[in-house]
Amino acid sequence: MKQQEGVLTVVSGYMGGHVEYPTYNQVCQQATGHVESVEVLYNPTHVTYETLAKLFFEIHDPTQHDGQGPDKGNQYASVIFYSDDEEKKIAEYLIKKLIKSGLSISTKIMPSQVFWKAEESHQNYYEKHNKAPYCHRYQKRFFDE
């Protein structure tokens, strides 16, 4: 997401749970109801929400239930948290397109909740640790544009 033109900041964190100020360890124990997520701030005059939502579907596996690659658990579920009806409509539209193309989509669409920033050690994780992502890779999924 950070590499997309128009994206200003990407912050790692947690959303969707019932515990205030969750920690990584709490989220990993699957006791808080949170999923690992990112908050993406962007300039809408340079990139659209739809472009970012498509990118979301193309940089992770939206067909894997409660996991991403070797990471398993409901904290790794594929979820789009929407802020308004337009974002929800776009997410639903893109999921329908992916299903029509033959994919079985596990991505949930939920209203946005409080975003809790993850610990500093989880911000820009791959850059800090000089590692290549092991559960995310780009795969083009939208071919009619």
- Tens digit of each residue's pLDDT (9 = 90 or more) over 89-116: 999 999 999 999 999 999 999 999 999 9
- Domain CATH code at residue 26: 3.30.1060.10
CA dihedral 115, 113, 54, 43 (to 10 degrees): -60
User: Does a structural domain hold residue 144?
Assistant: no
Q: Which one, of 16, 21, 102, lies nearest residue 66 by Cα? A: 16
Total domains, the chain: 1
User: Does a structural domain hold residue 75?
Assistant: yes
Total-model pTM: 0.87
Report the pLDDT averaged over residues 119-130: 73
Sign of the CA dihedral running 63, 65, 71, 77: positive
Domain with 56 in it:
7-129
- Tens digit of each residue's pLDDT (9 = 90 or more) over 46-81: 999 999 999 999 988 899 887 776 778 788 899 999
Reduced to 3 DSSP states, what percent helix, strand and coil does the chain have, rounded to the nearest 5?
A: 30, 20, 50
**Structure tokens of 52?**
């970012």
Let me know: does 52 contact 40? Beta carbons within 8 Å. Answer: yes
Under DSSP, the state recorded for 83 is S
| Beta-ladder partners of 108 | 79
Q: Which one, of 5, 131, 135, lies nearest residue 76 by Cα? A: 135
To the nearest 10 degrees (0 to 180), the angle between helices 85-100 and 49-58 is 40
Q: Which one, of 129, 58, 70, 41, lies nearest residue 98 by Cα? A: 58
User: Does a structural domain hold residue 134?
Assistant: no
Under DSSP, the state recorded for 24 is H
- Overall residue count recorded for the chain in this entry: 145
User: Does a structural domain hold residue 50?
Assistant: yes
